[in-house]
Structure 1
Amino acid sequence: MSGSDSIFKQGENCWVTSTATYATPLIDCANYYRALHSAITKAKHSIFIIGWDIDSRIRLLRGEEEANAEAPSVIGDLLAWKAEQNPDLRVYLLRWDSSLAFFAMREMWAKEVWEEKTPDNVKTELDDTIPMGGSQHQKVVVIDDEVVFSGGMDVSVNRWDTRDHPVISEERDGPDGEYGPLHDVHMVAAGPVVKDFADLVRWRWLRVAEEQPIGKRDDAQNGPDAPLPSAWPEQYDPWFENVECALARTIPFMDEVEPVQEVRNMLLDLISQAERLIYIENQFTTRQEIAEALNRRLKECDTLQVVIVSSYEPKGKFECEAFWASRIEFKDILEKGVEPHRIAMTYSSIEDIKGRKAYKRIHAKVMTIDEKYAVIGSSNLSNRSMTLDTEIDTVFRGNTEHNRNMIARLRDDLLAEHTGREVAETAELLQSDNPVEALMTGQLAHGYVLNIVNDEVFTDQSNSSLYRSLSDPEEPLISIPTIDGSAMPAKNPRRRTIMIALGVAALALLAGLMFWASQSIPWLSAENINSFLEKSRGTYFALPTVLMVYVIGGLLFFPVTVLSLAVAAIFGPIWGPIYGILGALLSSAALFGIGKILGNAGLKKVGGPKVEALDAKLKTSGIVGVAAIRMLPIAPFSLVNLVAGISSIGIFQFLVGTFLGMFPPMIAKGLVGDSITQIFRNPSPQTIGYMAGGIVLWGLMIWGSQKFARWYQERKQQKEKAEAEECVA
């Protein structure tokens, strides 16, 4: 399919060669999300989304577009709406399963969330087949087997931004608050190449799912002369037309799949073809082999110049010591023995007229080789992207004058954004004898400008080897020996396995603390507590002592029944229950407050949709639910208090339910507890009768209290319903 002078070699530097009848770059996430929203609303047959992340909370549209849209903006709601509209539509979502490194920023319990939000014709799977240390890094969407989106962007948090990248933006709001400017590049294409992407996404799906996905459409309009398909996003005109392209992959060794390093081979071959200008923008530049190839080509071709745009500052210690420390080495290798004016390794930043600074985060994976080739893909220039992660890059070839002009337009447009210039002005500068020097000089103040990187301000490289082996490895972190003497890479632990392990660890820690307390705190025993309370009887300190014992006992998960019986036995059938219920309410409120703090800190989302459903039922049942739990204690007193705080129930409902559930039994316990004491002191038919009567009364009061709580809750719900109906009327 490609011409004789093409470097595309199937099976070596690419998986397949093909043609895109139409293709357009989508620069920055606002454009990609807008195009994706448009294509999804037009889908009739199938939607495949393969990603590092697929977050159901992401808003695809913003501002007036969102307000005026007929279809939902949030992707979870959009796919549910579309699937309900067309029951014959099939939607397949394949997201990378898990990574401890990204737990804080990824949607917890993603599979369950999607299953709760969407109808049965939306299928969700988590890919857990990637070797330990690697990730599922392909980002592909195929609509109706007629339109494909692919490149560097995920439907994920902290991604959305516009092309002007303002210093401050209320719309750039992530889980940790506002994030800074972020730049990325994707592409949308139609034509024969979509069939190849359709093969890829179905292959990926079948590796983890038992259900066979819907077959490819035979009637899809993918011929070289076909018109724009109906799912094409109408806001974006095609740039490339009938452009030759190749798909290059990285596939690690997993489940007996032979590894593929087409991306690595393709990039090395592309660099060897450069004559005048290589333009690269990439999230990471750490692969020394790429730096060596660039340096070698610069020395072979003295007319060649190189511009690289990446990010300014690292995020966290691992990124600093693995990627920024390695970028120092990359830069040293690249520049060795080459005139400095021919190379610029840069970042893009701005200082506006108010003196506010911002550094643009680069997440794109783009390379242009003169006007010959353009790469838009998912691969970073890192070790892991060449060998360990799953990647897919689309390489466009300038097979016609029009398509060569589009490659130049892509490069000029991106550099115009990073330098705060107009595209035409940038294009003119790049035609000068020294394009790097022309680009770096004369940049305007108060707009985005390119600056030379100086990574030594972030790291002295003293820990780079350790961090690099964990964050940017070439091989799986753990391999398991097999019978035949070879080694099988261990998979990343599944998200469910990690969550279970964390839960077991938390319970083990709690049990350990309780055991330590019981062994190390001498007075934490029933006998010592009884003795301590006994000393306060008849003094002004009786009630404060009981309250303190309940609060401390609650914090240490001491059984509340033991405390209640002890208080009843010591303070009698009247004051015993009164002191006991006051202590229980104060202890409940204290642990409820701790639970509320933990819930607000993010613990609530760890439980996932199932816990959210239980939370909703608890909130709906309200006082009745709490009273029932208190009367029939199916969980420890202190644990119920913590969980209630994490839940959405109000503290007033919780305390009223606690009172109704605990006070009647406490009165009965007062009789029983006092009777037990009298039996030991003076056994007689009267004291035994008191104890038997107290037990019967205990049961009757449990029944009566539950009836009252249910009546109260029903009356409250009827009142709320009547108010709602009146409001609607």
Structure 2
Amino acid sequence: MQSGKSVFQPGQNCWVESKARFSTPLIDCGNYYKALHSSIVKAKHSIFIVGWDIDSRIRLLRGDDEVSSEAPSVISDLLKWKAEQNPDIKIYLLRWDSSLAFFAQREMWAKEVWEEKTPDNVQTELDDTIPMGGSQHQKIVVVDDELVFSGGMDVSTNRWDTRDHPVVSEERDGPDGEYGPLHDVQMVSSGPVVADFAQLVRWRWQRVADESPIDMREEARIDENAPLPDAWPEDFPPLFENVECALARTIPFMDEVEPAQEVRHMLLDLIGEAESVIYIENQFTTRQEIAEALNKQLKLKPNLSVIIVSSYEPKGKFECEAFWASRIEFKAILEKGIDPNRVKLTYSSIEDMQGRKAYKRIHSKVMTIDNKYLVIGSSNLSNRSMTLDTEIDTVIFGNSKDNRACIEQVRNDLLAEHTGRDIEAMPEIFNSRYPVEALMQGQIAHGYVLTEVRDEVFTEHSVKNVFRALSDPEEPLISVPTLDGAALPARNPRRRSIMILIGVTIIAILGGLMFWASQSIPWLSSDSINAFLEKSRGTYFALPTVLIVYVVGGVLFFPVTVLSLAVAAIFGPIWGPIYGIMGALMSSAIMFGIGKLSGNAGLRKIGGPKVAAVDEKLKRSGIVGVAAIRMLPVAPFSLVNLVAGISSIGIFQFLVGTFLGMFPPMIAKGLVGDSIAQIWKNPSVETISYLVGGIIMWGLMIWGSQKFARYYQARKESTGDAAQTSNSRKDEGEKCAA
């Protein structure tokens, strides 16, 4: 039985009008990740994942599900397992490139990480085609061209949570430690709509990749009686059947692509259809045009109520001044001239019986219009989502009595969660004169409750500012004039370009500081250091003086060879190397500590998987590896110390390796340094012979260290391979015996 005609108008408020054979919402990441894991395990032909982020470290399963699963839980391990299990399957990962603003949360070298962790039939691309200021914000997974996940969820950090949203959860652990409750909504669908998503993800892929993806499979299961597709996730039965739907996009103007603002037009048209209840849950509510449309419809329809659920607390200055300050204006426009019993902008929070408080972070993008329309998508009610980001919303139309009942069920289920009620209590609330006021009253103590937002506690009502211009823009931040007089939006800078710029900037700053120090600090020269050390010779302050010189020289990246030769020249071939090695060890330990602190603060992330591979080799080779590096002049002394601190090697191994690698050459430098001093005082064949002998010894030690390090590494690797082979044979024998 049809229920009138929908508002869908392809080319205006939507991209395509379609149909879903089956569809069901997946509420919160615990459910979505479990469903995604199930469908990936079942995949046979292809997997496309398009996201704002695709983090290789995310565990899709938790608890008993993780323990009982035969397939890996971590998504990179899972995709590797699937790709190796079925070499014919093709897996495509398309992630937004630019991530400087999210350095602490996102994997900096995402493409390299995925390429290192997965085989060749898993391909990864970073999308750098989005205009500057915008982002790749679509969240889509297409499996075998017969199943699609879409909505507000990424496979990213600080996302996983369960529907009960406990105040404290050990599983909610992100890069910065435990995070608070987080709510989101995704949807899984099958049927003709999957072909539209399959076309979209392939178009997105072809824009950035050199190779075209595999051709779309001919979809057979599109008739009204088709069964659930093979890839449908376990434990998630479909809610909607044979439901009409539409896909609305935001596509910014990029590389001569025709822009689309279908999301914007769709939301405005849907609001104009409302008569009874508009329910919205959204991460950001800043678009004044949406507030004006809601206010207008409230005035046109006296029986209409509007309830909005969003987040409570902003994260950082940019979010506060860009989105929370704008939400003050949004709320004022929304409520102007309206009975407060009919409209509320709220947040969901809890205070448990121990007095612990938690505020639920809303990341979902959901809207229901009476029982006629349900929107589950990626779009926030913000300026950027309407014009500048790439977005995709799925709009379901209640084309039958059953599907209208399902739309009501989704709305009631979500509001029951936010207010700590049972879903059975919701129909009575919505049958009351003022459903919004009824929702706010009678909420259960020590459960989740809705409270009206008061953003003035976070920020003042202010005019447009630089934070809004950067965080919630309507247009690209920079446009480049073209020869025909038009303007082409500049792309977001590539991650690689950002990293190169950061590296060049750091090197320039260090170089500038060293040049400034050499020109401005009178005592930072070889002559001054020699004079300083000369004064301490023969006194009790000789060793402390040498230690101070090495430590200060290490911090200022002064060449250690110059220091060693100077110390040997002043203190002789015996005490010179002894003092020198003690000073070098102290300087190494201090710079190692600085490196360790810097690495923990995020510098380890900059290095990426290539540096991680070198780090792993250094860790495996241990003391011998450090000794070899010390004997070989491959990098400045202080830089090696810093890098070692950032790496995973322990300080004991590092210092022992430093001693073994530096002390023999230090003796050779002692001969050279002392010979130079003697030649200066009394040139003779003997002193020149000592100099030549010392240089030869120095060279032989470098050559010998190379040989020994290679021999040791080869032997260690061969021993490891032999042990691994032995273990494999043992395992096979045990399996045969079993």
Bucket of the pairwise TM-score, normalised by the shorter protein: over 0.9
Deviation per CA, 1:153-194: give whole Å up to 9, x if none.
Answer: 110011111111111111111111111111111100000110
Q: TM-score, normalised by structure 2?
A: 0.96
**Is the aligned partner of 1:218 residue 2:218?**
yes
Q: Distance between the aligned counterparts of 2:526 and 2:275, measured in 1?
A: 85
Corresponding residue for residue 118 of structure 1? 118
**Is the aligned partner of 1:233 residue 2:222?**
no
Q: Distance between the aligned counterparts of 2:114 and 2:701, measured in 1?
A: 45
| One-letter amino acid matched to 2:422 | E
**Is the aligned partner of 1:105 residue 2:88?**
no
**Is the aligned partner of 1:40 residue 2:45?**
no
Q: Distance between the aligned counterparts of 2:310 and 2:698, measured in 1?
A: 72
Decide whether aligned partners of structure 1 residues 581 and 720 sit closer, same or farther in structure 2, where only a CA change above 3 A counts: farther
TM-aligned CA deviation for residue 463 of structure 1: 6.1
Corresponding residue for residue 502 of structure 1? 502
What SS does the corresponding residue of 2:72 show, helix, strand or coil?
coil
Corresponding residue for residue 362 of structure 1? 362
Corresponding residue for residue 734 of structure 2? none
| One-letter amino acid matched to 1:472 | D
Root-mean-square deviation (Å): 2.1
Q: Distance between the aligned counterparts of 1:575 and 1:716, measured in 2?
A: 36
Corresponding residue for residue 512 of structure 1? 512
TM-aligned CA deviation for residue 564 of structure 1: 1.1
Decide whether aligned partners of structure 1 residues 2 and 259 sit closer, same or farther in structure 2, where only a CA change above 3 A counts: farther
TM-aligned CA deviation for residue 572 of structure 1: 1.3
Asked if the contact 1:306–1:344 (Cα under 8 Å) also holds between the matched residues in 2, the reply is yes
Decide whether aligned partners of structure 1 residues 543 and 707 sit closer, same or farther in structure 2, where only a CA change above 3 A counts: farther
Q: Distance between the aligned counterparts of 1:697 and 1:369, measured in 2?
A: 85
What SS does the corresponding residue of 2:426 show, helix, strand or coil?
helix
Asked if the contact 1:595–1:646 (Cα under 8 Å) also holds between the matched residues in 2, the reply is yes
What SS does the corresponding residue of 1:249 show, helix, strand or coil?
strand
Asked if the contact 2:668–2:694 (Cα under 8 Å) also holds between the matched residues in 1, the reply is yes
Decide whether aligned partners of structure 1 residues 479 and 84 sit closer, same or farther in structure 2, where only a CA change above 3 A counts: same
**Is the aligned partner of 1:588 residue 2:588?**
yes
Asked if the contact 1:140–1:149 (Cα under 8 Å) also holds between the matched residues in 2, the reply is yes
Corresponding residue for residue 415 of structure 1? 415
Q: Distance between the aligned counterparts of 1:364 and 1:399, measured in 2?
A: 24
| One-letter amino acid matched to 1:116 | E
Q: Distance between the aligned counterparts of 2:391 and 2:341, measured in 1?
A: 33
Decide whether aligned partners of structure 1 residues 337 and 648 sit closer, same or farther in structure 2, where only a CA change above 3 A counts: same
Q: Distance between the aligned counterparts of 2:724 and 2:131, measured in 1?
A: 54
Q: Distance between the aligned counterparts of 2:217 and 2:710, measured in 1?
A: 57
Q: Distance between the aligned counterparts of 1:262 and 1:219, measured in 2?
A: 26
Q: Distance between the aligned counterparts of 2:685 and 2:151, measured in 1?
A: 86
Q: Distance between the aligned counterparts of 1:363 and 1:119, measured in 2?
A: 33
Decide whether aligned partners of structure 1 residues 73 and 444 sit closer, same or farther in structure 2, where only a CA change above 3 A counts: same
TM-aligned CA deviation for residue 383 of structure 1: 0.5
Asked if the contact 2:3–2:398 (Cα under 8 Å) also holds between the matched residues in 1, the reply is no
Answer with 538-547 or 61-70: which moved more. Answer: 538-547
TM-aligned CA deviation for residue 720 of structure 1: 8.9
| One-letter amino acid matched to 1:284 | F
Q: Distance between the aligned counterparts of 1:163 and 1:455, measured in 2?
A: 26
Deviation per CA, 1:548-586: give whole Å up to 9, x if none.
Answer: 111111111111111111111111112111211221122
| One-letter amino acid matched to 1:674 | D
What SS does the corresponding residue of 2:49 show, helix, strand or coil?
strand
Q: Distance between the aligned counterparts of 1:283 and 1:389, measured in 2?
A: 15
Decide whether aligned partners of structure 1 residues 710 and 247 sit closer, same or farther in structure 2, where only a CA change above 3 A counts: closer
Q: Distance between the aligned counterparts of 1:92 and 1:675, measured in 2?
A: 65
Corresponding residue for residue 325 of structure 1? 325
**Is the aligned partner of 1:287 residue 2:292?**
no
Corresponding residue for residue 642 of structure 2? 642
TM-aligned CA deviation for residue 658 of structure 1: 2.0
Q: Distance between the aligned counterparts of 1:714 and 1:126, measured in 2?
A: 37
Deviation per CA, 1:26-64: give whole Å up to 9, x if none.
Answer: 111111111101100000000000000000111111001
Q: Distance between the aligned counterparts of 1:431 and 1:408, measured in 2?
A: 12
TM-aligned CA deviation for residue 711 of structure 1: 7.4
Q: Distance between the aligned counterparts of 1:347 and 1:659, measured in 2?
A: 60
Corresponding residue for residue 174 of structure 1? 174
TM-aligned CA deviation for residue 705 of structure 1: 5.6
Corresponding residue for residue 697 of structure 1? 697
Corresponding residue for residue 55 of structure 1? 55
Corresponding residue for residue 18 of structure 1? 18
**Is the aligned partner of 1:478 residue 2:478?**
yes
| One-letter amino acid matched to 1:584 | A
Corresponding residue for residue 735 of structure 2? none
| One-letter amino acid matched to 1:387 | T
Q: Distance between the aligned counterparts of 2:151 and 2:82, measured in 1?
A: 24
**Is the aligned partner of 1:202 residue 2:197?**
no
Decide whether aligned partners of structure 1 residues 102 and 678 sit closer, same or farther in structure 2, where only a CA change above 3 A counts: same
Q: Distance between the aligned counterparts of 1:424 and 1:383, measured in 2?
A: 37
Answer with 635-644 or 80-89: which moved more. Answer: 635-644
| One-letter amino acid matched to 2:61 | L
Corresponding residue for residue 382 of structure 2? 382
What SS does the corresponding residue of 1:655 show, helix, strand or coil?
helix
Decide whether aligned partners of structure 1 residues 627 and 47 sit closer, same or farther in structure 2, where only a CA change above 3 A counts: same
Asked if the contact 2:99–2:106 (Cα under 8 Å) also holds between the matched residues in 1, the reply is no
What SS does the corresponding residue of 1:141 show, helix, strand or coil?
strand
Asked if the contact 1:622–1:654 (Cα under 8 Å) also holds between the matched residues in 2, the reply is yes
Asked if the contact 2:53–2:155 (Cα under 8 Å) also holds between the matched residues in 1, the reply is yes
TM-aligned CA deviation for residue 691 of structure 1: 1.9
Corresponding residue for residue 313 of structure 1? 313
**Mapping for residues 452-601 of structure 1, pairs under 5 Å:** 452-462=452-462, 464-601=464-601
**Is the aligned partner of 1:335 residue 2:330?**
no
TM-aligned CA deviation for residue 422 of structure 1: 0.8
TM-aligned CA deviation for residue 434 of structure 1: 1.8
Q: Distance between the aligned counterparts of 1:197 and 1:297, measured in 2?
A: 32
Q: Distance between the aligned counterparts of 2:482 and 2:727, measured in 1?
A: 70
Decide whether aligned partners of structure 1 residues 563 and 2 sit closer, same or farther in structure 2, where only a CA change above 3 A counts: farther
TM-aligned CA deviation for residue 295 of structure 1: 0.8
Q: Distance between the aligned counterparts of 2:142 and 2:713, measured in 1?
A: 50
Q: TM-score, normalised by structure 1?
A: 0.97
| One-letter amino acid matched to 1:511 | G
**Mapping for residues 678-697 of structure 1, pairs under 5 Å:** 678-697=678-697
Matched residue count: 729
TM-aligned CA deviation for residue 226 of structure 1: 1.0
**Is the aligned partner of 1:611 residue 2:594?**
no
Decide whether aligned partners of structure 1 residues 708 and 383 sit closer, same or farther in structure 2, where only a CA change above 3 A counts: closer
Q: Distance between the aligned counterparts of 2:6 and 2:714, measured in 1?
A: 76
| One-letter amino acid matched to 2:424 | A
Answer with 702-711 or 124-133: which moved more. Answer: 702-711
Decide whether aligned partners of structure 1 residues 226 and 720 sit closer, same or farther in structure 2, where only a CA change above 3 A counts: closer
Percent identity between the two aligned chains = 76
Corresponding residue for residue 629 of structure 1? 629
Corresponding residue for residue 736 of structure 2? none
Q: Distance between the aligned counterparts of 2:468 and 2:527, measured in 1?
A: 57
Q: Distance between the aligned counterparts of 2:433 and 2:707, measured in 1?
A: 90
Corresponding residue for residue 265 of structure 2? 265
Decide whether aligned partners of structure 1 residues 44 and 2 sit closer, same or farther in structure 2, where only a CA change above 3 A counts: farther
Q: Distance between the aligned counterparts of 1:536 and 1:712, measured in 2?
A: 42
Deviation per CA, 1:440-487: give whole Å up to 9, x if none.
Answer: 111111111111111111111336432111111110011111111111
What SS does the corresponding residue of 1:341 show, helix, strand or coil?
coil
Q: Distance between the aligned counterparts of 2:256 and 2:348, measured in 1?
A: 43
Deviation per CA, 1:586-635: give whole Å up to 9, x if none.
Answer: 21122112112222222112100000011111222223322222222011
Asked if the contact 1:286–1:323 (Cα under 8 Å) also holds between the matched residues in 2, the reply is yes
Asked if the contact 1:131–1:252 (Cα under 8 Å) also holds between the matched residues in 2, the reply is yes
Q: Distance between the aligned counterparts of 1:322 and 1:2, measured in 2?
A: 43
| One-letter amino acid matched to 1:5 | K
Q: Distance between the aligned counterparts of 1:367 and 1:148, measured in 2?
A: 20
Corresponding residue for residue 142 of structure 2? 142
What SS does the corresponding residue of 2:465 show, helix, strand or coil?
helix
Decide whether aligned partners of structure 1 residues 400 and 715 sit closer, same or farther in structure 2, where only a CA change above 3 A counts: closer
Q: Distance between the aligned counterparts of 1:28 and 1:422, measured in 2?
A: 17
| One-letter amino acid matched to 2:142 | V
| One-letter amino acid matched to 2:353 | I
